Every structure is written in structure tokens, then in C-alpha cells.
Amino acid sequence: MYILQEGQAYAQIGDKVVMEYKTGDYFGERALMKGEPRAADVIAKTDCVMVSLDRHSVKRLLGSLEELLKKNLEVYEKYK
């Protein structure tokens, strides 16, 4: 999972842009939580500073916030 500390990026599936990211946004939680390969490519629009979290760190640091992340997974289902 990645958190965008600075910059802008977008997610693309094939030739279609499916999501825009700005400072403070996060991505990669779907692949992390479901144990699946990533569903989209994320491409930087500007120089970016990112934080990466592995599965163990997410569980340790976020605890019950994991349920919130799971709810957000529903948003991505429409792009399958």
C-alpha cells in the first residue's frame, strides 16, 4: 500500500485513466488486503514522495481501520 505524501499521480487500466491521486491519497490497498496482483498501473504526473506499507505494517498500525479500507474496495469493483 502506498500513501502519496507529495505530488500527483493517476491509475490506469489499459489506456483508460480510472483514478486521480493527490497529496494525502493512498492506493494499493486492494492488492494488499486481497493478496491479489495489482489491478492498475499508477503513474506519477509530477515528482512524488511516497510512503509504502507492507501487509504486516498495515495490520499493526491501522488495526480497526482495515475495515474502512475494505469498504473502499467496493469502489474498485466497478472497474473489473
Query: What cell was used for 61?
Result: 498500525
Answer CATH for 2-74 from 3.90.850.10, 3.60.20.10, 2.60.120.10, 3.30.750.24: 2.60.120.10
Pick the more confident residue, 77 or 11. 11
- Hey, which residues does 41 pair with through a beta bridge? 12
User: pLDDT for 19-69, tens place per residue?
Assistant: 999 999 999 887 777 777 888 999 999 999 999 988 888 777 766 666 667
* Cβ–Cβ < 8 Å for 64, 55: no
6: left (phi over 0), alpha (psi -120 to 50) or beta: beta
Query: What cell was used for 43?
Result: 503513474
The domain limits of the chain are: 2-74
Q: Please classify residue 33 by burial: count the beta carbons closer than 10 Å to its beta carbon, then call 0-12 exposed, 13-18 middle and 19+ buried.
A: middle
